[in-house]
């Protein structure tokens, strides 16, 4: 195991994970808002925010898929030590991490079943930056409308059409993150 893999986790897990959980909850409850998180220093290319989401949400019972450049030994070891989560194929993933290009095609991810729509994937999409500019978002948790620089709109519109099934998305850039659950309507551009 690479020694770096052993560092970069929470140093005060109960407090840090509770705070981070709150931020992730807010991000998904108020889609499009951009939140800041801290406490994780995962190996590159993972962002702090992606590391925090994994530390808070993934554990040995959730399969993690590393897409593209995220799939490298240092990241694998970091996940093994800090999460103990099994690494799985995209089709089995509870969480998938990577750039939008690396995650494609997103139709391969789990969308749940009619009796258990929660048995679906959460995509952690690594972005260069997050700004409230781009396609308009409307729906539950958004008072009127908000905007976010999505990598594309068609896939999210199709995903919304599957409701109550579908995947959920967290966009991450540096120490910032923003949520786009399946309930959000995305403007056609």
Q: Is 158 in the site for other proteins (CB under 8 A)?
A: no
Sequence-ordered alpha helix ranges (H) in 72-172: 73-82, 100-103, 154-161
**DSSP states of 109-120 as a string?**
S-B--SS-TTSB
Residues numbered 45-74 forming contacts with other proteins, rule: CB under 8 A:
59-61
Q: How far is the CB of 108 from other proteins (least distance, A)?
A: 23
Residue 43 DSSP label: P
Q: Is 12 in the site for other proteins (CB under 8 A)?
A: yes
Residue 127's CB: how many other CB atoms inside 10 A?
A: 22
- One residue of 3, 114, 128, 133 binding other proteins per CB under 8 A: 3
Q: Is 4 in the site for other proteins (CB under 8 A)?
A: no
Distance CA 66, CA 33 (A): 25
Q: How far is the CB of 124 from other proteins (least distance, A)?
A: 20
121, 95 contact by CB (below 8 A): yes
Q: How far is the CB of 81 from other proteins (least distance, A)?
A: 4
Nearer to other proteins, 2 or 145 (CB): 2
How buried is 38 (Cβ within 10 angstroms: 0-12 exposed, 13-18 middle, 19+ buried)?
A: middle
Distance CA 128, CA 27 (A): 18
Q: Is 42 in the site for other proteins (CB under 8 A)?
A: no
Q: Is 84 in the site for other proteins (CB under 8 A)?
A: yes
Nearer to other proteins, 60 or 114 (CB): 60
Binding residues (CB under 8 A) for other proteins: these are: 1, 3, 5-7, 9, 11-13, 59-61, 77, 80-81, 84
């Amino acid at each position: 195991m690479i020694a770096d893999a052993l560092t970069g986790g929470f140093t005060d897990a109960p407090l840090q994970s509770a705070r981070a959980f709150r931020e992730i909850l807010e991000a998904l409850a108020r889609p499009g808002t951009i939140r800041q998180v801290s406490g994780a220093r995962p190996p590159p290319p993972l962002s702090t925010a992606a590391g925090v989401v994994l530390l808070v949400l993934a554990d040995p019972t959730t399969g993690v898929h590393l897409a593209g450049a995220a799939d490298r030994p240092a990241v694998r070891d970091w996940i093994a030590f800090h999460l103990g989560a099994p690494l799985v194929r995209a089709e089995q993933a509870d969480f998938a991490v990577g750039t939008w290009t690396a995650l494609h095609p997103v139709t391969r991810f789990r969308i749940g079943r009619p009796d258990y729509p929660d048995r679906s994937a959460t995509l952690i999409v690594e972005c260069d930056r997050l700004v409230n500019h781009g396609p308009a978002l409307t729906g539950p948790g958004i008072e009127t409308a908000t905007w976010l620089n999505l990598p594309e709109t068609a896939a999210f519109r199709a995903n919304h059409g599957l409701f109550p099934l579908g995947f959920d998305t967290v966009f991450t850039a540096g120490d910032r993150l923003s949520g786009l659950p399946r309930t959000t309507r995305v403007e056609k551009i």
